[in-house]
Structure 1
């Protein structure tokens, strides 16, 4: 929701009334022109405030700020002028000044609903979500029938992980605005967090009925369908990720996108997308594509994966391009890696699980041979993913899946195992130093240059225990036993419901959270399972 702009007044001269009528009909430039021609505008705060509202609508922030300040000079307690000034400052990124303007409004008029709403949004921008929630609740006290105010409250509660409260707020918004696709999308997202996937599916479908081009609803519905095993429709909807308003931009090469046409005798360039884990999971489709008769298959991947991906069957060239997909060789078609399941017709019953589909390059295997402690049951550990600070959404997901090294202490205390750290990260790898010296895992990761090195270590392990990050997929692709700690609302690729197995990796075992944010029970289960494995030996 945009900041609420105010231009009301109790009594208006004719020029004001005419300009306000033009403003309300959307004739913003005409309204502003009329105000600028009126000699009264320079002396009457309401007219100056309306001129500010016009300038806001016309994306003229400097003029809008000047009009607001002149209105306030004339009428220091003119609440709507202070409110509009807050909007100008907020849009200009002057957050602290905007907060002060909204607080000034509420000093003058404590029941000014738009100021409570806008203050709440400012507080959210500063990460003060509890205070923001209070502001949104006050806005609803002032105007309980405003659907957008319920939506704002729900969105804030989602940030606070108060998902039950968010659901209630979004349902109230839906009752007030039943034909608003965005409201149903928000409700679906809250229900998904509450692991009520059938209801979430219904809410997303309702959003798409109201607005078929709602890209985020298509992507989120795809996740629900894929996570509940409805892969045929799920993969098709997942293609929305690189369509208009999607969150992935396909490479601009001029090469036609492959959409399932015959590949016999053709050349195809396939691009990795999203994170390392996605690339490791779905590179299994490249041999399948080559088997369709491709004359040439080129794979483009990030540099840390190139050496490992060079071992894939059927790949004629594995290249890295880190500079906006430029200077690629000509091909008949191009394809995004995660579109391959769709065009290969993958269903839950036909997930390709011929393993291993990745192998350690021989020179890396030789380099890492005899570097681990000899003998014993060797267990690799990963406790945190990439924080991905470049994206607020991805960073939030990482916070849900990641633990600290200290959280693994019950596992590290299990006797009879030799623990090997597979943890990389500027903030997470050094956490080893805070562990008791006798329990610290062996850490060779400073010598690891890329995923081929990590793969060479994993090949020498008896088990990998990891949170849901790229190492889980690497161990699975190498067909090594891997135990995966999965957060409460889980990732769609592990399926939302069912047993602890994975159709993607037959030697994987899932340990699922049963309560949001609660890892102690999961760690306890892993500890007990590890003790059982060691006892059986």
Structure 2
């Protein structure tokens, strides 16, 4: 027992190497203790060793066939690897149903595109454990994706419990969360959260807030790459800064994470504000491209951002397109001049193609304001689901968004249009993982596009 306690302490500090060594010793001492074996599996999964984790869960089931705890943990590993049908088959073997089992079933069903059944599984999980924040968060996204904002939007607040970076930040502001009170003679601090794309997508709701209280000072706190871009917003009484570097030290009465604005403002799915664009096209910049005026200027991005959160790594990876698809597309259309707007490590694969190196623009884009200046010189952006898609939509740049078969909640499950951005067209996979038919359609549409 002492070894397990030491192992727990090491795991709490994310010292997986020490935790695994200690729990292995504990397992040698008590080889028939399923709790130790299950813990061992949990930490192997956390340390990025899924196959070893599954072996530990299998060992538990030898002692306790149908053990719900082990099956739920094993199913979570399968879900993280994109093996959703296998996860559902495994979940059917449990000797009894628990909230964790229902949650993992919901995750698998959501990822297979069966959102109504996923919603039912979330309901079952929350009937057994009404405090299960991850199930609340998943249910909120399913409801929002299905158009039920009346229930989905309030429940989306559960993300503040799911993500530690949000939960831990809440007390740091020293004032209450804004719950929708009258802001007359008050100052509100709104702080950015989650990814860059989320912040670009939801910053539009500042205009709704300003229209309701035009005299209220608004302080917007965002990551450094977004500051110059958001300073271009046409909203009076708005200050934008990173950390607490406002021009003057300002007191504020309330604070609110940015993605809570729709809920506080009573937003619905029926009317998405400023779908026609809400960032100016006339950003001042010295960036100028050597563009051929007789060709269509097409920007492209093939890889989505990465995440360290195991729960979302498969989903992020499913968004990305092999670069070769764009290389072939370039050969098949003659009237387009292609420009790579890919940033991050993925661009190295482009630079290895010597005849493409001159179209790489990553070195010119040091902030989202720079990226906006580049986008303003494009006739079209073709991109996977990542932050630049939201930036192009906010700028009203024609955008073709490439989506996996089962996309994020904000794009729903079907359709080629989105209420979020009027200038955006959605291209969806017909078969999960297959981008070939998507690019065949892209080629046809590009060849028929005037220039």
Q: Same fold (TM over 0.5)?
A: yes
Bigger shift: 256-265 or 452-461? 256-265
Contact 1:269–1:335 (CA<8 Å) still a contact in 2? yes
Structure whose CA Rg is larger? 1
**CA RMSD, 1 decimal:** 3.2
CA distance in 2, matches of 1:94, 1:385: 33
Aligned partner (choices 310, 326, 349) of residue 392 of structure 1:
310
Partner Cα distance (2:272, 2:322) in 1? 33
Kept in 2, the 8 Å contact 1:215–1:241? The answer is yes
- Tell me what 2:202 maps to: 282
Aligned residue for 2:228?
307
Q: Does structure 2 retain, via aligned residues, the 8 Å contact 1:308–1:359?
A: no
Aligned to 1:459, which of 370, 376, 401?
376
Q: Pick from 330, 337, 344: which aligns with 1:418?
A: 337
Gapped regions of structure 2 (runs ≥ 5): none
Give the alignment of 1:22-421 within 5 angstroms. Answer: 53=1, 55=2, 59=5, 93-94=17-18, 97=21, 101=25, 117=38, 120-121=41-42, 123-173=44-94, 176-178=95-97, 180-243=98-161, 248-249=166-167, 250-251=169-170, 252-295=172-215, 296-322=217-243, 329-360=250-281, 362-364=283-285, 367-369=286-288, 371-389=290-308, 391-413=309-331, 414-421=333-340
Q: Answer yes or no: is the 8 Å Cα contact 1:419–1:441 preserved in 2.
A: no
Residues 410 and 524 in structure 1, CA contact (< 8 A), matched pair in contact too:
no
Q: How far apart are 1:265 and its partner, in Å?
A: 4.1
Conserved in 2, the CA contact under 8 Å of 1:129 and 1:159?
no
Please say if 1:524 is aligned against 2:440.
Answer: yes
Q: Is residue 207–residue 235 contact of structure 2 (8 Å, CA) maintained in 1?
A: yes
| Distance in structure 2 (CA, Å) of the matches to 1:271 and 1:145 | 45
How many Å apart are 1:330 and its aligned residue?
1.1
Higher RCO, 1 or 2 (CA under 8 Å, sep at least 6)?
2
Mapped partners of 1:229, 1:441: distance in 2: 44
Q: 1:126 to 1:387 in 2, by over 3 A?
A: same
Q: Could you state the TM-score of these two structures normalised by the residue count of structure 2?
A: 0.88
Residue 144 of structure 2: SS of its match in structure 1?
A: helix
Render the CA deviation track for 1:116-150: whole Å, top value 9, x for unaligned: 65664455345443454355345424431322222
CA distance in 1, matches of 2:23, 2:181: 56
Give the 3 Å change call, closer, same or farther, for CA 444–93 of structure 1 in structure 2: closer
Superposition deviation, residue 347 in structure 1: 1.7
TM-score by length of 1: 0.74
Cα distance in structure 2, aligned partners of 1:255 and 1:288? 23
SS at match of 1:165: helix
Question: 1:357/1:428 Cα in 2 relative to 1: closer, same or farther (>3 Å)?
Answer: same
